[in-house]
Amino acid sequence: IAGITQAPTSQILAAGRRMTLRCTQDMRHNAMYWYRQDLGLGLRLIHYSNTAGTTGKGEVPDGYSVSRANTDDFPLTLASAVPSQTSVYFCASSGGQGAADTQYFGPGTRLTVL
Amino acid sequence: SQKIEQNSEALNIQEGKTATLTCNYTNYSPAYLQWYRQDPGRGPVFLLLIRENEKEKRKERLKVTFDTTLKQSLFHITASQPADSATYLCALDITGGFKTIFGAGTRLFVKA
């Protein structure tokens, strides 16, 4: 089934540990995004990539890094997790023409940092 | 900075009635606005997109309006059903589609 997959589904992590959230899409979309969703704050953009090989910072990039080695994959890394990074993380992709297009979201990863 | 406001209080309506959700924004003039649906434990799903030069867009029981003077979009679900119960998010583009900002969403409950 075409779409976006994320792994893991959920994770409990000790503070200070390194963690990579995986995201893969099979729609050959140019653009990909990482959001975090917190109660009452909605979705906030962490990083984005408008095409393979390029990335950009969103609204809340501190403490996170991304890479885009190819079209399909867009991993998000927390180099040293802190409790404030406890959240639900969503990966999304879009056609990326730069004009109006819609985003397709993955199922999310629920991350708890203790 | 750009700001999107959606009613944080849940909206409770009776089955068959029309649900109306509001999205207000400030400090920006988006080229288009989108509405998404999100069910508990799932990612958002796209519903409708309306451009700045469109006043209204319809899709089946859904209708979206976009008033760029008031900086407001209204999202209507007619003949609502319990299956319409979900959180509805509005979203604005801020730089040609590569950056989108989302509202916090409004929770809708449709009672049978």
- Mean pLDDT on A32-46: 91
- Mean pLDDT on A17-43: 93
Do residues A34 and A46 lie in contact, with contact meaning Cβ atoms separated by under 8 Å?
Answer: yes
* CB-CB neighbors (< 8 A) of B102 in chain A: 35, 42-44
Report whether pLDDT(B9) > 60.
yes
pLDDT at A17: 97
Phi, psi for B35 (deg, rounded to 5) = -120, 135
pLDDT at B103: 92
Listed residue (A108, A110, A109, A106) closest to A4, CA to CA: A106
> CA-to-CA distance for B87 and A39, rounded, in angstroms?
12
CB contact B98 to A (< 8 Å): yes
Q: Tell me how close the Cα of A9 comes to any Cα of chain B, in angstroms.
A: 10
**Residues of chain B by 3-state class (helix, strand, coil), percent to 5:** 5, 55, 40
Count CB neighbours of A85 within 10 A: 20
Half-sphere exposure for B1 (CA within 13 Å, toward CB): 4
Nearest to A105 among B4, B44, B98 (CB): B44
Report whether pLDDT(B16) > 60.
yes
pLDDT at A55: 95
- Residue B84 DSSP SS3: helix
**Residues of chain A by 3-state class (helix, strand, coil), percent to 5:** 5, 50, 45
pLDDT digits 0-9 by tens, A75-114: 999 999 999 999 999 999 998 655 557 899 999 999 999 9
Q: Tell me how close the Cα of A94 comes to any Cα of chain B, in angstroms.
A: 9
pLDDT at B98: 60
Listed residue (A15, A4, A7) closest to A86, CA to CA: A15
> CA-to-CA distance for B87 and A37, rounded, in angstroms?
13
pLDDT at A95: 83
pLDDT at B25: 92
Nearest to A100 among B32, B43, B45 (CB): B32
* CB-CB neighbors (< 8 A) of A103 in chain B: 44, 46, 100
CB contact B77 to A (< 8 Å): no
- Mean pLDDT on B32-53: 93
* CB-CB neighbors (< 8 A) of A106 in chain B: 43
Chain A interface disruption, residue of B4, B52, B100, B106, most A CBs within 10 A: B100
pLDDT digits 0-9 by tens, B82-109: 999 999 999 988 765 567 889 999 999 9
pLDDT at A98: 53
Residue B76 β-bridge partners:
B20, B63
